[in-house]
Amino acid sequence: MTTTSTGAERRNYLNASEGLLSWLLTTDHKRIAILYLISVTFMFFLGGFFAAGVRLELLTPRGDLLEADTYNKFFTLHGVFMVFFVLIPAIPAILGNFLIPLMIGARDLAFPRINLLSWYIYVLGAAFTIVAMISGGVDTGWTFYTPYSTIYSNSAVLTAGVGIFITGFSSILTGLNFIVTIHKMRAPGLTWFRLPLFVWAHYATSLIQILGTPVVAVTVLMVAAERAFHLGFFDPRVGGDPVLFQHLFWFYSHPAVYIMILPAMGVISELVTAFSRKRIFGYPVVAISSLSIAVVGFLVWGHHMYVAGQSAYAGMVFSFLSFLVAIPSAIKTFNWTATLYKGSISWQAPMLYVIGFLGLFTVGGLTGIFLASMGLDVHVHDTYFVVAHFHYIMVGGAIMAYMGGLHFWWPKMTGRMYPEWWARVSAVLVFIGFNATFFPQFLLGYLGMPRRYHAYVGEFQVLNVFSTAGASVLGVGYLLPMVYFLWSLKYGEVVGDNPFGAKGLEWQTSSPPPVENFPEQPRVTEEAYAYSESEVGHA
Protein backbone atom coordinates (compact mmCIF):
# COMPACT_ATOMS: atom_id res chain seq x y z
CA MET A 1 0.00 0.00 0.00
CA THR A 2 1.76 3.13 -1.11
CA THR A 3 0.63 6.68 -1.23
CA THR A 4 -2.50 7.47 -3.12
CA SER A 5 -2.03 11.19 -3.29
CA THR A 6 -3.12 13.11 -6.31
CA GLY A 7 -1.17 16.24 -6.88
CA ALA A 8 0.66 18.17 -4.22
CA GLU A 9 -0.36 17.07 -0.77
CA ARG A 10 0.71 17.63 2.74
CA ARG A 11 3.49 15.43 3.86
CA ASN A 12 2.08 12.56 5.87
CA TYR A 13 3.15 9.21 7.21
CA LEU A 14 2.14 7.50 3.97
CA ASN A 15 4.13 9.60 1.56
CA ALA A 16 7.00 10.59 3.84
CA SER A 17 9.22 7.91 2.37
CA GLU A 18 8.74 5.39 -0.38
CA GLY A 19 9.69 1.89 -1.29
CA LEU A 20 9.01 -1.48 0.27
CA LEU A 21 12.01 -1.19 2.56
CA SER A 22 10.72 2.03 4.05
CA TRP A 23 7.73 0.01 5.17
CA LEU A 24 9.54 -3.11 6.32
CA LEU A 25 12.00 -1.10 8.40
CA THR A 26 9.59 1.55 9.64
CA THR A 27 9.29 2.31 13.30
CA ASP A 28 6.29 4.60 12.83
CA HIS A 29 3.40 3.17 14.84
CA LYS A 30 1.01 4.17 12.07
CA ARG A 31 2.86 2.27 9.39
CA ILE A 32 3.25 -0.73 11.70
CA ALA A 33 -0.51 -0.61 12.19
CA ILE A 34 -0.92 -0.79 8.42
CA LEU A 35 1.47 -3.75 8.27
CA TYR A 36 -0.66 -5.47 10.88
CA LEU A 37 -3.80 -4.55 8.97
CA ILE A 38 -2.51 -6.29 5.87
CA SER A 39 -1.27 -9.41 7.66
CA VAL A 40 -4.30 -9.78 9.95
CA THR A 41 -6.64 -9.36 6.98
CA PHE A 42 -4.76 -12.10 5.17
CA MET A 43 -5.09 -14.41 8.17
CA PHE A 44 -8.76 -13.48 8.51
CA PHE A 45 -9.56 -14.67 5.03
CA LEU A 46 -7.42 -17.78 5.53
CA GLY A 47 -9.39 -18.57 8.68
CA GLY A 48 -12.58 -17.72 6.81
CA PHE A 49 -11.71 -20.23 4.12
CA PHE A 50 -11.62 -23.01 6.72
CA ALA A 51 -14.86 -21.79 8.26
CA ALA A 52 -16.47 -22.06 4.83
CA GLY A 53 -15.23 -25.65 4.54
CA VAL A 54 -16.67 -26.52 7.94
CA ARG A 55 -20.06 -24.98 7.17
CA LEU A 56 -20.26 -26.67 3.77
CA GLU A 57 -19.47 -30.06 5.28
CA LEU A 58 -22.24 -29.60 7.82
CA LEU A 59 -24.89 -29.03 5.16
CA THR A 60 -25.59 -32.75 5.23
CA PRO A 61 -25.57 -35.10 8.21
CA ARG A 62 -23.17 -37.54 6.62
CA GLY A 63 -19.50 -36.70 6.31
CA ASP A 64 -19.48 -36.51 2.55
CA LEU A 65 -17.58 -33.40 1.50
CA LEU A 66 -14.41 -33.74 3.54
CA GLU A 67 -12.67 -36.74 5.06
CA ALA A 68 -13.04 -36.94 8.82
CA ASP A 69 -9.38 -36.07 9.35
CA THR A 70 -9.58 -33.19 6.90
CA TYR A 71 -12.65 -31.83 8.62
CA ASN A 72 -10.88 -32.01 11.97
CA LYS A 73 -7.99 -30.07 10.53
CA PHE A 74 -10.35 -27.50 9.05
CA PHE A 75 -12.02 -26.60 12.32
CA THR A 76 -8.67 -26.64 14.11
CA LEU A 77 -7.03 -24.30 11.62
CA HIS A 78 -10.09 -22.07 11.60
CA GLY A 79 -9.83 -21.75 15.37
CA VAL A 80 -6.06 -21.33 15.52
CA PHE A 81 -5.93 -18.69 12.79
CA MET A 82 -8.93 -16.76 14.02
CA VAL A 83 -8.11 -16.78 17.72
CA PHE A 84 -4.36 -16.32 17.80
CA PHE A 85 -3.79 -14.45 14.54
CA VAL A 86 -6.95 -12.42 14.05
CA LEU A 87 -9.02 -11.81 17.15
CA ILE A 88 -6.21 -11.26 19.63
CA PRO A 89 -4.17 -8.84 17.50
CA ALA A 90 -6.97 -7.25 15.44
CA ILE A 91 -8.04 -4.26 17.48
CA PRO A 92 -4.96 -3.73 19.67
CA ALA A 93 -2.31 -4.20 17.02
CA ILE A 94 -4.13 -2.37 14.22
CA LEU A 95 -6.41 0.27 15.71
CA GLY A 96 -4.62 0.44 19.07
CA ASN A 97 -1.24 0.80 17.44
CA PHE A 98 -2.46 3.49 15.11
CA LEU A 99 -4.56 5.43 17.57
CA ILE A 100 -3.13 5.25 21.07
CA PRO A 101 -0.24 7.66 20.44
CA LEU A 102 -2.60 9.94 18.50
CA MET A 103 -5.24 9.83 21.20
CA ILE A 104 -2.83 10.68 23.99
CA GLY A 105 -0.93 13.29 22.00
CA ALA A 106 2.35 11.37 21.74
CA ARG A 107 4.65 11.12 18.79
CA ASP A 108 4.91 7.38 18.89
CA LEU A 109 4.72 4.43 21.23
CA ALA A 110 7.40 4.33 23.90
CA PHE A 111 9.42 1.64 22.12
CA PRO A 112 9.00 1.97 18.35
CA ARG A 113 11.60 -0.65 17.49
CA ILE A 114 10.04 -3.17 19.85
CA ASN A 115 6.77 -2.37 18.14
CA LEU A 116 8.24 -3.28 14.78
CA LEU A 117 9.84 -6.35 16.35
CA SER A 118 6.45 -7.49 17.59
CA TRP A 119 5.11 -7.36 14.03
CA TYR A 120 8.01 -9.49 12.81
CA ILE A 121 7.39 -11.93 15.65
CA TYR A 122 3.75 -12.09 14.59
CA VAL A 123 4.75 -12.81 11.00
CA LEU A 124 7.22 -15.47 12.11
CA GLY A 125 4.57 -17.14 14.28
CA ALA A 126 2.08 -16.98 11.43
CA ALA A 127 4.68 -18.46 9.09
CA PHE A 128 5.24 -21.40 11.43
CA THR A 129 1.51 -22.01 11.67
CA ILE A 130 1.08 -21.81 7.93
CA VAL A 131 3.93 -24.29 7.54
CA ALA A 132 2.04 -26.53 9.95
CA MET A 133 -1.03 -26.09 7.79
CA ILE A 134 0.85 -27.07 4.63
CA SER A 135 2.84 -29.91 6.16
CA GLY A 136 -0.17 -31.98 7.10
CA GLY A 137 -2.26 -29.61 9.15
CA VAL A 138 -3.20 -29.80 12.82
CA ASP A 139 -6.17 -31.76 14.11
CA THR A 140 -6.25 -31.14 17.85
CA GLY A 141 -8.76 -28.32 17.97
CA TRP A 142 -7.45 -24.87 18.86
CA THR A 143 -7.56 -25.93 22.52
CA PHE A 144 -4.79 -28.54 22.14
CA TYR A 145 -6.23 -30.76 24.87
CA THR A 146 -3.87 -33.36 26.23
CA PRO A 147 -3.22 -36.26 25.98
CA TYR A 148 -4.66 -36.13 22.45
CA SER A 149 -2.29 -33.36 21.40
CA THR A 150 0.75 -34.81 23.13
CA ILE A 151 0.48 -38.52 22.44
CA TYR A 152 -2.19 -39.43 19.92
CA SER A 153 -2.36 -36.78 17.22
CA ASN A 154 -0.37 -37.54 14.09
CA SER A 155 -0.47 -34.02 12.78
CA ALA A 156 1.91 -31.06 12.85
CA VAL A 157 1.15 -30.13 16.47
CA LEU A 158 4.74 -29.23 17.24
CA THR A 159 5.08 -26.71 14.41
CA ALA A 160 1.74 -25.10 15.15
CA GLY A 161 2.56 -25.01 18.85
CA VAL A 162 5.83 -23.24 18.16
CA GLY A 163 3.94 -20.79 15.94
CA ILE A 164 1.51 -19.97 18.73
CA PHE A 165 4.31 -19.74 21.27
CA ILE A 166 6.14 -17.22 19.08
CA THR A 167 3.04 -15.16 18.35
CA GLY A 168 2.36 -14.93 22.07
CA PHE A 169 5.44 -12.75 22.43
CA SER A 170 4.16 -10.39 19.78
CA SER A 171 1.09 -9.89 21.93
CA ILE A 172 3.15 -9.51 25.12
CA LEU A 173 5.42 -6.88 23.56
CA THR A 174 2.45 -4.93 22.22
CA GLY A 175 0.91 -4.93 25.68
CA LEU A 176 4.18 -3.85 27.25
CA ASN A 177 4.49 -0.99 24.79
CA PHE A 178 0.95 0.18 25.48
CA ILE A 179 1.32 0.10 29.25
CA VAL A 180 4.51 2.17 29.22
CA THR A 181 3.15 4.55 26.60
CA ILE A 182 -0.08 5.18 28.48
CA HIS A 183 1.77 5.69 31.74
CA LYS A 184 4.58 7.88 30.52
CA MET A 185 3.67 9.66 27.31
CA ARG A 186 0.35 11.36 27.79
CA ALA A 187 0.13 14.94 26.59
CA PRO A 188 0.22 17.71 29.20
CA GLY A 189 -3.19 18.00 30.81
CA LEU A 190 -4.30 14.55 29.77
CA THR A 191 -5.04 13.06 33.17
CA TRP A 192 -6.16 9.46 33.60
CA PHE A 193 -9.80 10.42 33.84
CA ARG A 194 -9.61 12.51 30.70
CA LEU A 195 -8.32 9.58 28.66
CA PRO A 196 -10.54 8.31 25.88
CA LEU A 197 -12.19 5.05 26.94
CA PHE A 198 -10.47 3.35 24.01
CA VAL A 199 -7.21 3.97 25.84
CA TRP A 200 -8.58 2.70 29.15
CA ALA A 201 -9.81 -0.43 27.45
CA HIS A 202 -6.39 -1.02 25.91
CA TYR A 203 -4.70 -0.45 29.24
CA ALA A 204 -6.85 -3.21 30.77
CA THR A 205 -6.20 -5.41 27.73
CA SER A 206 -2.46 -4.92 28.04
CA LEU A 207 -2.53 -6.09 31.64
CA ILE A 208 -4.07 -9.36 30.50
CA GLN A 209 -1.60 -9.67 27.64
CA ILE A 210 1.29 -9.22 30.07
CA LEU A 211 0.03 -11.50 32.82
CA GLY A 212 -1.88 -14.13 30.85
CA THR A 213 -0.02 -14.73 27.62
CA PRO A 214 3.19 -16.05 29.26
CA VAL A 215 1.18 -18.78 30.96
CA VAL A 216 -0.20 -20.11 27.69
CA ALA A 217 3.25 -19.71 26.18
CA VAL A 218 4.82 -21.96 28.79
CA THR A 219 1.88 -24.36 28.52
CA VAL A 220 2.27 -24.72 24.77
CA LEU A 221 5.98 -25.11 25.38
CA MET A 222 5.26 -28.00 27.77
CA VAL A 223 3.08 -29.66 25.13
CA ALA A 224 5.86 -29.19 22.58
CA ALA A 225 8.47 -30.58 24.98
CA GLU A 226 6.24 -33.55 25.67
CA ARG A 227 5.93 -34.29 21.96
CA ALA A 228 9.54 -33.57 21.07
CA PHE A 229 11.50 -34.79 24.10
CA HIS A 230 9.04 -37.12 25.84
CA LEU A 231 8.98 -35.04 28.96
CA GLY A 232 5.93 -36.10 30.92
CA PHE A 233 3.80 -33.27 32.28
CA PHE A 234 0.35 -34.27 31.15
CA ASP A 235 0.93 -37.90 30.19
CA PRO A 236 -1.30 -40.18 32.25
CA ARG A 237 0.97 -43.15 31.50
CA VAL A 238 3.69 -41.69 33.71
CA GLY A 239 1.28 -40.23 36.22
CA GLY A 240 0.86 -36.83 34.60
CA ASP A 241 -2.49 -35.11 34.83
CA PRO A 242 -4.14 -34.19 31.51
CA VAL A 243 -6.56 -31.90 33.33
CA LEU A 244 -3.66 -29.76 34.59
CA PHE A 245 -3.21 -28.74 30.97
CA GLN A 246 -6.79 -27.50 30.90
CA HIS A 247 -6.23 -25.39 33.99
CA LEU A 248 -3.08 -23.80 32.58
CA PHE A 249 -4.61 -23.38 29.14
CA TRP A 250 -7.80 -21.71 30.34
CA PHE A 251 -5.94 -19.56 32.83
CA TYR A 252 -4.85 -17.69 29.72
CA SER A 253 -7.47 -18.56 27.20
CA HIS A 254 -10.40 -17.37 29.19
CA PRO A 255 -8.82 -13.95 29.83
CA ALA A 256 -7.86 -14.06 26.14
CA VAL A 257 -11.55 -13.58 25.39
CA TYR A 258 -11.24 -10.29 27.25
CA ILE A 259 -8.19 -9.43 25.15
CA MET A 260 -10.62 -9.66 22.25
CA ILE A 261 -13.66 -7.96 23.73
CA LEU A 262 -12.18 -5.18 25.91
CA PRO A 263 -10.63 -3.28 22.99
CA ALA A 264 -13.91 -3.80 21.14
CA MET A 265 -15.70 -2.16 24.05
CA GLY A 266 -13.22 0.70 23.79
CA VAL A 267 -14.05 1.13 20.11
CA ILE A 268 -17.77 1.15 20.88
CA SER A 269 -17.33 3.86 23.51
CA GLU A 270 -15.61 6.07 20.92
CA LEU A 271 -18.18 5.40 18.23
CA VAL A 272 -21.26 5.74 20.38
CA THR A 273 -20.17 9.18 21.52
CA ALA A 274 -19.02 10.36 18.10
CA PHE A 275 -22.20 9.32 16.31
CA SER A 276 -24.55 10.59 18.96
CA ARG A 277 -22.39 13.66 19.58
CA LYS A 278 -22.75 13.23 23.23
CA ARG A 279 -20.65 12.64 26.27
CA ILE A 280 -20.41 9.05 27.38
CA PHE A 281 -22.90 8.29 30.09
CA GLY A 282 -21.04 7.44 33.32
CA TYR A 283 -17.43 7.84 32.16
CA PRO A 284 -15.72 6.63 35.36
CA VAL A 285 -17.99 3.60 35.59
CA VAL A 286 -17.23 2.56 32.02
CA ALA A 287 -13.49 3.12 32.55
CA ILE A 288 -13.23 1.20 35.81
CA SER A 289 -15.44 -1.62 34.57
CA SER A 290 -12.75 -2.43 31.99
CA LEU A 291 -10.22 -2.91 34.75
CA SER A 292 -12.57 -4.97 36.85
CA ILE A 293 -13.29 -7.24 33.88
CA ALA A 294 -9.54 -7.68 33.41
CA VAL A 295 -8.99 -8.57 37.07
CA VAL A 296 -12.00 -10.83 37.69
CA GLY A 297 -11.50 -12.37 34.25
CA PHE A 298 -8.37 -14.05 35.61
CA LEU A 299 -10.37 -15.92 38.24
CA VAL A 300 -13.04 -17.66 36.21
CA TRP A 301 -11.11 -20.20 34.13
CA GLY A 302 -12.50 -23.19 36.00
CA HIS A 303 -15.92 -22.71 34.42
CA HIS A 304 -14.52 -24.57 31.42
CA MET A 305 -14.18 -27.70 33.57
CA TYR A 306 -17.53 -28.26 35.25
CA VAL A 307 -17.72 -31.75 33.76
CA ALA A 308 -14.01 -32.58 33.96
CA GLY A 309 -14.23 -34.01 37.43
CA GLN A 310 -13.15 -30.95 39.42
CA SER A 311 -14.60 -30.69 42.89
CA ALA A 312 -18.10 -29.27 43.14
CA TYR A 313 -16.92 -26.60 45.57
CA ALA A 314 -14.18 -25.39 43.24
CA GLY A 315 -16.85 -25.31 40.56
CA MET A 316 -19.05 -23.16 42.76
CA VAL A 317 -16.30 -20.60 43.30
CA PHE A 318 -15.64 -20.39 39.59
CA SER A 319 -19.34 -20.18 38.86
CA PHE A 320 -19.84 -17.38 41.36
CA LEU A 321 -16.97 -15.36 39.90
CA SER A 322 -18.21 -16.01 36.37
CA PHE A 323 -21.55 -14.49 37.28
CA LEU A 324 -19.75 -11.52 38.82
CA VAL A 325 -17.71 -10.83 35.69
CA ALA A 326 -20.95 -10.50 33.74
CA ILE A 327 -21.95 -7.43 35.71
CA PRO A 328 -19.36 -4.93 34.40
CA SER A 329 -20.27 -5.93 30.84
CA ALA A 330 -23.94 -5.38 31.58
CA ILE A 331 -23.13 -2.00 33.11
CA LYS A 332 -21.24 -0.97 30.00
CA THR A 333 -24.12 -1.97 27.76
CA PHE A 334 -26.57 0.08 29.79
CA ASN A 335 -24.22 3.08 29.75
CA TRP A 336 -23.82 2.94 25.98
CA THR A 337 -27.56 2.75 25.59
CA ALA A 338 -28.06 5.68 27.94
CA THR A 339 -25.49 7.66 25.96
CA LEU A 340 -27.84 7.56 22.96
CA TYR A 341 -30.59 9.25 24.97
CA LYS A 342 -31.18 12.77 23.61
CA GLY A 343 -28.17 12.46 21.34
CA SER A 344 -27.84 13.67 17.79
CA ILE A 345 -27.63 10.28 16.22
CA SER A 346 -26.19 9.75 12.78
CA TRP A 347 -26.98 6.56 10.87
CA GLN A 348 -23.66 6.38 9.09
CA ALA A 349 -22.12 2.94 8.57
CA PRO A 350 -19.92 2.85 11.70
CA MET A 351 -23.02 3.56 13.79
CA LEU A 352 -24.82 0.67 12.12
CA TYR A 353 -21.98 -1.54 13.27
CA VAL A 354 -22.38 -0.14 16.78
CA ILE A 355 -26.09 -0.95 16.80
CA GLY A 356 -25.26 -4.41 15.49
CA PHE A 357 -22.66 -4.82 18.19
CA LEU A 358 -25.07 -3.83 20.95
CA GLY A 359 -27.58 -6.40 19.77
CA LEU A 360 -25.14 -9.26 19.24
CA PHE A 361 -23.06 -8.56 22.30
CA THR A 362 -26.20 -8.52 24.44
CA VAL A 363 -27.17 -11.95 23.14
CA GLY A 364 -23.61 -13.21 23.64
CA GLY A 365 -23.47 -11.85 27.16
CA LEU A 366 -26.86 -13.21 28.18
CA THR A 367 -26.06 -16.67 26.87
CA GLY A 368 -22.85 -16.47 28.89
CA ILE A 369 -25.13 -16.51 31.95
CA PHE A 370 -26.46 -19.88 30.75
CA LEU A 371 -22.93 -21.24 30.59
CA ALA A 372 -21.87 -19.87 33.95
CA SER A 373 -24.81 -21.77 35.49
CA MET A 374 -23.23 -25.00 36.65
CA GLY A 375 -26.28 -27.24 36.44
CA LEU A 376 -27.16 -25.99 32.98
CA ASP A 377 -23.62 -25.99 31.66
CA VAL A 378 -23.39 -29.72 32.29
CA HIS A 379 -25.90 -30.15 29.47
CA VAL A 380 -24.68 -27.52 27.01
CA HIS A 381 -20.93 -27.84 27.64
CA ASP A 382 -19.06 -28.79 24.44
CA THR A 383 -22.20 -28.47 22.33
CA TYR A 384 -23.07 -26.00 19.61
CA PHE A 385 -24.55 -23.78 22.32
CA VAL A 386 -21.00 -22.95 23.37
CA VAL A 387 -19.95 -22.47 19.75
CA ALA A 388 -22.81 -20.04 19.18
CA HIS A 389 -22.11 -18.19 22.44
CA PHE A 390 -18.45 -17.51 21.80
CA HIS A 391 -19.07 -16.53 18.19
CA TYR A 392 -21.61 -13.99 19.41
CA ILE A 393 -18.92 -12.55 21.68
CA MET A 394 -15.88 -12.87 19.46
CA VAL A 395 -17.40 -12.22 16.06
CA GLY A 396 -20.65 -10.46 16.91
CA GLY A 397 -18.80 -8.46 19.54
CA ALA A 398 -15.15 -8.09 18.70
CA ILE A 399 -15.27 -8.27 14.90
CA MET A 400 -18.35 -6.04 14.62
CA ALA A 401 -16.59 -3.41 16.71
CA TYR A 402 -13.39 -3.86 14.74
CA MET A 403 -15.26 -3.34 11.46
CA GLY A 404 -17.06 -0.32 12.88
CA GLY A 405 -13.76 1.12 14.09
CA LEU A 406 -12.03 0.44 10.80
CA HIS A 407 -14.73 2.38 8.93
CA PHE A 408 -14.67 5.19 11.46
CA TRP A 409 -10.91 5.71 11.40
CA TRP A 410 -10.43 4.80 7.72
CA PRO A 411 -10.46 8.46 6.60
CA LYS A 412 -7.95 9.20 9.36
CA MET A 413 -5.69 6.37 8.24
CA THR A 414 -5.92 6.96 4.50
CA GLY A 415 -7.29 10.47 4.03
CA ARG A 416 -10.12 9.03 1.96
CA MET A 417 -13.70 8.11 2.71
CA TYR A 418 -15.16 4.65 2.25
CA PRO A 419 -18.30 4.52 0.06
CA GLU A 420 -21.11 5.12 2.54
CA TRP A 421 -23.89 3.27 0.73
CA TRP A 422 -21.89 0.08 0.26
CA ALA A 423 -20.68 0.25 3.82
CA ARG A 424 -24.26 0.33 5.08
CA VAL A 425 -25.13 -2.60 2.86
CA SER A 426 -22.24 -4.57 4.25
CA ALA A 427 -23.11 -3.71 7.87
CA VAL A 428 -26.66 -4.93 7.35
CA LEU A 429 -25.50 -8.08 5.53
CA VAL A 430 -23.07 -8.93 8.32
CA PHE A 431 -25.77 -8.47 10.94
CA ILE A 432 -28.33 -10.60 9.14
CA GLY A 433 -25.83 -13.23 8.02
CA PHE A 434 -24.34 -13.48 11.47
CA ASN A 435 -27.64 -14.10 13.20
CA ALA A 436 -28.74 -16.59 10.57
CA THR A 437 -25.47 -18.46 11.01
CA PHE A 438 -25.19 -18.59 14.73
CA PHE A 439 -28.65 -18.28 16.22
CA PRO A 440 -29.67 -21.78 15.02
CA GLN A 441 -26.57 -23.09 16.75
CA PHE A 442 -27.99 -22.16 20.16
CA LEU A 443 -30.95 -24.40 19.40
CA LEU A 444 -28.71 -27.14 18.03
CA GLY A 445 -26.66 -27.01 21.19
CA TYR A 446 -29.61 -27.30 23.51
CA LEU A 447 -30.89 -30.19 21.43
CA GLY A 448 -27.55 -31.83 22.15
CA MET A 449 -25.42 -31.57 19.02
CA PRO A 450 -21.81 -31.82 20.22
CA ARG A 451 -19.23 -29.51 18.71
CA ARG A 452 -16.43 -30.73 16.43
CA TYR A 453 -18.69 -33.33 14.83
CA HIS A 454 -17.83 -34.25 11.28
CA ALA A 455 -21.09 -36.17 10.83
CA TYR A 456 -24.24 -35.79 12.87
CA VAL A 457 -27.60 -37.43 13.38
CA GLY A 458 -30.23 -36.51 10.82
CA GLU A 459 -32.58 -34.61 13.08
CA PHE A 460 -30.07 -31.77 13.36
CA GLN A 461 -29.97 -31.08 9.63
CA VAL A 462 -32.59 -28.36 9.22
CA LEU A 463 -30.90 -26.01 11.66
CA ASN A 464 -27.50 -26.76 10.13
CA VAL A 465 -28.77 -25.83 6.69
CA PHE A 466 -29.99 -22.52 8.08
CA SER A 467 -26.61 -21.95 9.62
CA THR A 468 -24.72 -22.66 6.41
CA ALA A 469 -27.05 -20.45 4.40
CA GLY A 470 -26.48 -17.64 6.89
CA ALA A 471 -22.73 -18.15 6.64
CA SER A 472 -22.81 -17.47 2.92
CA VAL A 473 -24.52 -14.12 3.55
CA LEU A 474 -21.97 -13.40 6.27
CA GLY A 475 -19.15 -14.22 3.87
CA VAL A 476 -20.44 -11.68 1.32
CA GLY A 477 -20.78 -9.17 4.15
CA TYR A 478 -17.07 -9.54 4.93
CA LEU A 479 -15.87 -9.63 1.32
CA LEU A 480 -17.61 -6.37 0.39
CA PRO A 481 -15.53 -4.12 2.68
CA MET A 482 -12.38 -5.79 1.39
CA VAL A 483 -13.36 -4.66 -2.09
CA TYR A 484 -14.56 -1.15 -1.33
CA PHE A 485 -11.77 -0.33 1.11
CA LEU A 486 -9.26 -1.14 -1.62
CA TRP A 487 -11.36 0.81 -4.11
CA SER A 488 -11.47 3.82 -1.81
CA LEU A 489 -7.68 4.01 -1.66
CA LYS A 490 -7.74 5.31 -5.21
CA TYR A 491 -11.25 6.55 -5.80
CA GLY A 492 -12.58 7.39 -2.37
CA GLU A 493 -13.58 10.95 -1.68
CA VAL A 494 -10.77 12.99 -0.19
CA VAL A 495 -12.14 14.28 3.06
CA GLY A 496 -11.06 16.76 5.68
CA ASP A 497 -9.27 16.03 8.88
CA ASN A 498 -12.43 15.36 10.84
CA PRO A 499 -15.21 14.15 8.55
CA PHE A 500 -17.39 12.89 11.38
CA GLY A 501 -17.05 15.95 13.57
CA ALA A 502 -15.63 13.81 16.33
CA LYS A 503 -13.76 14.83 19.45
CA GLY A 504 -10.47 13.31 20.48
CA LEU A 505 -6.91 14.37 19.75
CA GLU A 506 -6.62 12.04 16.79
CA TRP A 507 -9.11 14.20 14.90
CA GLN A 508 -7.20 17.37 15.56
CA THR A 509 -4.28 16.48 13.38
CA SER A 510 -4.38 16.14 9.64
CA SER A 511 -5.63 13.09 7.74
CA PRO A 512 -3.49 11.11 7.14
CA PRO A 513 -1.44 12.33 10.10
CA PRO A 514 2.09 13.62 9.65
CA VAL A 515 4.94 11.33 10.63
CA GLU A 516 5.38 13.08 13.97
CA ASN A 517 1.60 12.98 14.55
CA PHE A 518 1.18 16.58 15.69
CA PRO A 519 2.95 19.64 14.38
CA GLU A 520 2.89 20.98 17.92
CA GLN A 521 2.63 19.23 21.24
CA PRO A 522 -1.10 19.25 21.97
CA ARG A 523 -2.34 20.27 25.38
CA VAL A 524 -5.53 18.94 26.85
CA THR A 525 -7.83 21.21 28.79
CA GLU A 526 -11.10 19.35 28.82
CA GLU A 527 -12.58 15.97 29.52
CA ALA A 528 -13.03 13.33 26.88
CA TYR A 529 -16.10 13.50 24.65
CA ALA A 530 -16.79 17.16 25.31
CA TYR A 531 -19.41 17.19 22.57
CA SER A 532 -22.12 18.96 24.41
CA GLU A 533 -20.44 22.17 25.46
CA SER A 534 -19.44 23.39 22.07
CA GLU A 535 -21.00 23.88 18.71
CA VAL A 536 -20.66 20.74 16.64
CA GLY A 537 -20.12 20.70 12.95
CA HIS A 538 -17.71 19.76 10.24
CA ALA A 539 -14.11 20.60 10.75
Partner 1 sequence: MPEAALQHGHGEEQADGHAQTHPRFAHHFESLENQKESASLGMWVFLAQEVMFFGGLFMAYILYRNLYHGAFEYGSHLLNWKLGFFNTIVLIGSSVTMAMAVHSAALGQRTRIVGWLLATILLGSVFLGVKVVEYTEKFHHNLVPGETFGLPYEGMDPHHAMPDNMRRPTQVYYSLYFAMTGLHALHMIIGIPILAGIAWFAHKGEYSARFHTPVELVGLYWHFVDIVWIFLFPLLYLIH
Partner 2 sequence: MQWTGPLPYMPEQASSVAPEVDALYLFLVGISIFFGVLIAALVVGFAVRYRRRSEDEKTPHIHGSALLEVAWSAIPLAIVMAVFFWSAKIYFDINRAPQNPMEVYVVGKRWMWKLQHLTGQREINQLHVPVGVPVKLTLTSEDVIHSFFVPAFRIKKDAIPGRYTSLSFTATKAGRYHLFCAEYCGTQHSGMIGEIVVLEPHEFQEWLAGGAAATSPAAAGEKLFKDLACITCHKGDTGARGPALAGVFGSDVRLADGSVVKADESYLRESIVNPTARVVAGYQPIMPTFQGVVSEEQLMQLVAYIQTLKREGQGAPPAAAPAGAGQPKGGQ
Q: Which of residues 137-196 bind partner 1 (CB under 8 A)?
A: 172, 175-177, 179-181, 183-185
Binding residues for partner 2 restricted to 362-381, rule: CB under 8 A: 362-363, 366-367, 369-370, 372-379, 381
Binding-site size for partner 1 (CB under 8 A) equals 53
From the list partner 1, partner 2, none, pick the one residue 179 interacts with, judged by a Cβ distance below 5 to 8 Å according to partner type.
partner 1
- Site track for partner 1 across 21-60, x = CB under 8 A: ------xx--------------------------------
Check residue 277 for interaction with partner 2 (CB under 8 A).
yes
Check residue 341 for interaction with partner 2 (CB under 8 A).
yes
Check residue 326 for interaction with partner 2 (CB under 8 A).
yes
Count of C-beta atoms within a 10 Å radius of residue 483:
12
How many angstroms separate the CA atoms of 266 and 103, rounded? 12
Check residue 524 for interaction with partner 1 (CB under 8 A).
no
Check residue 331 for interaction with partner 2 (CB under 8 A).
yes
For 474-478, the CB contacts below 8 A with 24+ separation are: 474/429, 474/430, 474/433, 474/434, 474/436, 474/437, 475/48, 475/52, 475/433, 476/429, 476/433, 477/426, 477/427, 477/429, 477/430, 477/431, 477/432, 477/433, 477/434, 478/44, 478/48, 478/426, 478/430
- Site track for partner 2 across 146-185, x = CB under 8 A: -xx--xxx--------------------------------
Binding residues for partner 2 restricted to 437-466, rule: CB under 8 A: 443, 446-448, 450-459
Binding residues for partner 2 restricted to 520-539, rule: CB under 8 A: 531-533, 535-538
Determine which helix (DSSP H) or strand (DSSP E) holds 129, and give its type and residue range. helix 112-134
From the list partner 1, partner 2, none, pick the one residue 538 interacts with, judged by a Cβ distance below 5 to 8 Å according to partner type.
partner 2
b/e per residue, 176-188, with b = 16+ CB within 10 A? bbbbebbeebbbe
Query: 494 forms bridges with which residues in the sheet?
Result: 416
Burial of 106 (0-12, 13-18, 19+ CB in 10 A): buried
SS3 539: coil
CA atoms within 13 A on the CB side of 517: 22
Instruction: Determine which residue in the list 66, 123, 124, 141 makes contact with partner 2, applying CB under 8 A.
Output: 141
| CB 108, min distance to partner 1, A | 4
Which is nearer to partner 2, 185 or 330 (by Cβ)? 330
- Cis peptide bond prior to 89, omega within 30° of 0: no
Which is nearer to partner 2, 66 or 211 (by Cβ)? 66
Check residue 299 for interaction with partner 1 (CB under 8 A).
no
Count of C-beta atoms within a 10 Å radius of residue 1:
13
| CB 221, min distance to partner 2, A | 21
How many angstroms separate the CA atoms of 539 and 87, rounded? 33
Count of C-beta atoms within a 10 Å radius of residue 196:
25
**Which residues make up the interface to partner 1 (CB under 8 A)?**
27-28, 106-108, 110-114, 172, 175-177, 179-181, 183-185, 210-215, 217-219, 221-222, 225-226, 229-233, 237-241, 244, 247-248, 251, 514-516, 519-521
